[in-house]
């Protein structure tokens, strides 16, 4: 029983340690497990943040990421925002630079103000998030050049797609940007047609980049931390998460060259990813643009373009929810932005099972309950062994207390007597804790599945639970959980030490306080799991007590 309590204390201590570490990282302080710090400074006062502008090369050759410089101030050119509306997004593209400056997700509500839609891209003093493209290697059109807009429809209407075409001429090169928005799709096709209108060959390169401040998205809980930052994927290096703080210090490490993959900016539940066409050689760069402003992007050499010739380059911009099925179809490895950590190998099958259950039940709350039941059934033999061991321990607790009293000043004899007692009563001291240890990875995996799944966001269960990804508004589930944990503690063998017994009775309160601020979906899982555990433990204990009396 001492070993079992030791394991419980280790789990409890690790939970507090992880919560404290998440709290430190949420407030921009160093993590206890990593030296990196995510910067969360506010943009400089007095205007919009600086934006990164690739400057023309004096030689006309393609520039490297190191040659990309920041330009301060606001542009004197008059801009016009062109609004495109589909059934899932509302986008605004600026005629200055043809940059995507505003993106509203019409099917997802804002975390802070649920009466409004979530705005992912924006350019304000409080939040900067942009998608920019252009040419480098000369005085060619970039994301600060003036573009003219070709006539066309601006709303999806009854069609399946809507296109926006922008055109700019500079340095003898014409750049044609074509944005294609499709029905029910967060994936935007971005095509670049580069025509050499000069009398001499040119060698431009196309850059695609995402620019964002380093702030966490609004409404994030202070009691658990989710990743916000850049990410890179290549076939060779696989998925790499980057840190804003390391980018600021010039210490970021990631794949620099490839002919495949993508770059992205990730935040809780949502992602924006730039995916160039496959087998196109590219450079991958990250950069601190200004105070609390960062860029990640790719540079794609277009080769030498002869006078009068045109070169085209296709790309995709996915900017929307981290829905596994949609991400898997867009690009290899893109589903990895829905990061389950080192337990992905367990978490992904759990999420797959949840989606299968949801197809039948149609409600994520009932899905969580059914999943909990199935997991409980899968571990039934292990749980039963654990509870039988605990029941035996409870039966011999008076004998254990007697041994402790007799050999209070002789620890060696006390241990020998305890071992004899275990042998006589046929009790395995590890029998109660090993099944719990085996189940811990599954429980942690399920925790990350529920925390990372956008499907839970704004998903109702019943009654007062309208959002399984938000805390219970009336704290009913955490209170029920506290009661269930208290009952479980009473069913467990009472520790011989009075002080230890009081501490064990206090643990349900400590855990419940933490769960007051956890998403309702997570608390629902633990409540159902506790209720099933209580029923199983009570039945086994009652059966063993009856056998003993008989």
DSSP labels for 161-186? EEEEEEEEEETTEEEEEEEEEETT--
Residue 544 and residue 395 in contact, taking contact as beta carbons nearer than 8 Å: yes
Residue predicted with more confidence, 294 or 252: 294
Could you tell me the pLDDT band of residue 490, with boundaries at 50, 70 and 90? Answer: confident
**pLDDT tens-place string over residues 319-349:** 999 999 999 999 999 999 998 878 888 999 9
Alpha-carbon torsion angle 11, 17, 19, 22, nearest 10: -140
Q: What is the mean pLDDT of residues 442-456?
A: 86
Q: What is the mean pLDDT of residues 267-281?
A: 96
Predicted pLDDT at 417: 85
CA distance 27 to 279: 41
Q: Which of 11-20, 110-119, 256-265 has the highest mean predicted lDDT (pLDDT)?
A: 256-265
Q: What are the beta bridge partners of residue 298? A: 208, 284
Tokens for 375, please give them.
């997991």
pLDDT over 50 (residue 201):
yes
Residue predicted with more confidence, 78 or 248: 248
Let me know the angle formed at the C-alpha of 427 by 423 and 429, rounded to the nearest 5 degrees: 105
Predicted pLDDT at 39: 35
Residue predicted with more confidence, 515 or 430: 515
Could you tell me the pLDDT band of residue 35, with boundaries at 50, 70 and 90? Answer: very low
Tokens for 492, please give them.
């467990």
pLDDT over 90 (residue 290):
yes
| Mean of pLDDT over the chain | 82
CA distance 21 to 323: 28
H-state helical runs in 426-518:
434-452, 476-491, 498-515
Residues 6+ apart with CB under 8 A from 72: 50
Q: Please state which of the ranges 38-42, 128-132, 338-342, 441-445 shows the lowest mean pLDDT.
A: 38-42
Q: What is the mean pLDDT of residues 97-125?
A: 94
Alpha-carbon separation of residue 415 from 133, 158, 410 (angstroms): 72, 80, 9
Predicted pLDDT at 547: 61
Q: Where are the beta strands (DSSP E) in 21-88?
A: 51-53, 69-71, 81-85
pLDDT over 80 (residue 52):
no
For each of the domains in the chain, give its residue range(s) and CATH number, in order of start. Answer: 41-336 (2.70.98.90), 348-390+430-543 (no CATH)
Q: What's the maximum distance between 2 C-alpha atoms anywhere in the chain?
A: 104
Predicted pLDDT at 454: 93
Q: Please state which of the ranges 147-151, 386-390, 515-519 shows the lowest mean pLDDT.
A: 386-390
Q: Please state which of the ranges 67-71, 360-364, 366-370 shows the lowest mean pLDDT.
A: 67-71
CA distance 202 to 205: 10
Q: Report the percentage of the chain scoring pLDDT > 90.
A: 53
pLDDT over 60 (residue 432):
no
Predicted pLDDT at 21: 55
Tokens for 297, please give them.
């992007």
Predicted pLDDT at 26: 47
Predicted pLDDT at 441: 85
CA distance 287 to 252: 9
pLDDT over 60 (residue 233):
yes
pLDDT over 50 (residue 480):
yes
Predicted pLDDT at 49: 34
Could you tell me the pLDDT band of residue 73, with boundaries at 50, 70 and 90? Answer: very low
Annotate 335-393 with three-state secondary structure: HHHCCCHHHHHHHHHHHHHHHHHHHHHCCHHHHHHHHHHHHHHHCHHHHHHHHHHHHHH
Q: Please state which of the ranges 132-146, 401-415, 472-486 shows the lowest mean pLDDT.
A: 401-415
pLDDT over 60 (residue 47):
no
Predicted pLDDT at 33: 42
Residues in the chain: 550
pLDDT over 70 (residue 51):
no
Alpha-carbon separation of residue 506 from 437, 486, 502 (angstroms): 22, 9, 6
CA distance 364 to 387: 30
Q: What is the mean pLDDT of residues 451-469?
A: 90
CA distance 212 to 271: 12
pLDDT over 90 (residue 445):
no
Helix (H) or strand (E) holding 212: strand 205-213
Among residues 217, 245, 225, which one has the least CA distance to residue 23? 225
Mark 36-49 as b/e (b = at least 16 C-beta within 10 Å).
Answer: bbbbbeebeeeeeb
**pLDDT tens-place string over residues 367-377:** 999 999 999 89
Predicted pLDDT at 447: 82
Q: What is the mean pLDDT of residues 521-549?
A: 81
Residue 242 and residue 296 in contact, taking contact as beta carbons nearer than 8 Å: yes
Predicted pLDDT at 495: 61
Residue 271 and residue 186 in contact, taking contact as beta carbons nearer than 8 Å: no
pLDDT over 50 (residue 54):
no
Q: Report the percentage of the chain scoring pLDDT > 70.
A: 80
Residue predicted with more confidence, 513 or 179: 179
pLDDT over 80 (residue 53):
no
Predicted pLDDT at 414: 83
Residue 270 and residue 320 in contact, taking contact as beta carbons nearer than 8 Å: yes
Could you tell me the pLDDT band of residue 72, with boundaries at 50, 70 and 90? Answer: very low
Among residues 213, 211, 231, 455, which one has the least CA distance to residue 339? 231
CA distance 131 to 94: 11
Predicted pLDDT at 63: 41
CA distance 106 to 118: 7
């Amino acid at each position: 029983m001492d070993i079992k309590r030791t394991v419980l204390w280790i789990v409890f201590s690790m939970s507090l340690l992880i919560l404290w570490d998440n709290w430190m990282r949420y407030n921009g302080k160093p993590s206890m497990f990593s030296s990196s710090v995510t910067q969360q400074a506010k943009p400089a006062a007095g205007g919009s943040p600086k934006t990164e502008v690739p400057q023309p090369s004096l030689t006309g050759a393609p520039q490297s990421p190191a040659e990309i410089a920041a330009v301060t101030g606001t542009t004197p050119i008059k801009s016009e925002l062109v609004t495109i509306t589909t059934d899932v997004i509302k986008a605004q593209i600026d005629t200055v630079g043809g940059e995507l400056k505003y993106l509203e997700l019409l099917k997802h509500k804002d975390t802070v103000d649920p009466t409004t839609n979530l705005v992912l891209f924006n350019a304000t003093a409080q939040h900067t998030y942009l998608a920019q493209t252009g040419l480098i290697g000369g005085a060619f059109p970039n994301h600060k050049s003036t573009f003219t807009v070709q006539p066309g429809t601006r709303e999806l209407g009854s069609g399946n797609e809507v296109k926006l075409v922008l055109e700019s001429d500079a340095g003898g090169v014409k750049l044609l940007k074509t944005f294609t928005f499709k029905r029910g799709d967060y994936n935007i096709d971005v095509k670049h047609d580069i025509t050499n209108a000069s009398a001499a060959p040119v060698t431009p390169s196309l850059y695609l980049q995402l620019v964002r401040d380093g702030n966490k998205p609004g409404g994030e809980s202070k009691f658990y931390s989710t990743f916000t930052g850049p990410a890179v994927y290549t076939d060779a290096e696989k998925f790499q998460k980057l840190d804003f703080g390391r980018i600021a210090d010039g210490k970021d490490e990631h794949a620099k060259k490839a002919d495949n993959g993508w770059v992205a900016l990730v935040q809780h539940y949502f992602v924006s990813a730039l995916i160039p066409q496959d087998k196109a050689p590219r450079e991958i760069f990250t950069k601190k643009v200004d105070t609390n402003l960062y860029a990640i992007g790719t540079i794609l050499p277009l080769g030498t373009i002869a006078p009068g010739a045109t070169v085209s380059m296709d790309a995709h911009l996915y900017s929307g929810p981290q829905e596994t099925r949609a991400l898997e179809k867009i690009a290899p490895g893109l589903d990895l932005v829905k990061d389950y950590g080192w337990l992905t190998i367990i978490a992904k099958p759990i999420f797959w099972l949840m989606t299968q259950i949801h197809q039948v039940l149609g409600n994520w709350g009932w899905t969580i309950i059914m999943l909990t039941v199935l997991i409980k059934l899968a571990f039934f033999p292990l749980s039963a062994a654990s509870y039988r061991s605990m029941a035996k321990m409870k039966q011999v607790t008076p004998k254990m207390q007697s041994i402790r009293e007799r050999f209070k000043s002789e620890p060696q004899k006390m241990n020998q007597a305890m071992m004899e007692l275990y042998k006589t009563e046929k009790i395995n001291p590890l029998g109660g804790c090993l099944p719990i240890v085996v189940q811990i990875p599954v429980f942690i995996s399920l925790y990350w599945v529920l925390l990372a799944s956008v499907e839970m966001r704004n998903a109702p269960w019943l009654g007062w639970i309208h959002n399984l990804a938000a805390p219970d508004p009336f704290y009913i589930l955490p209170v029920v959980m506290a009661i269930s944990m208290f009952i479980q503690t009473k069913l467990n063998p009472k520790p011989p030490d009075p002080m230890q017994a009081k501490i064990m009775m206090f643990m349900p309160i400590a855990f419940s306080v933490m769960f007051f601020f956890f998403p309702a979906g997570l608390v629902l899982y633990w409540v159902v799991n506790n209720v099933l555990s209580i029923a199983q433990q009570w039945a086994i204990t009652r059966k063993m007590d009856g056998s003993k009396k008989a």
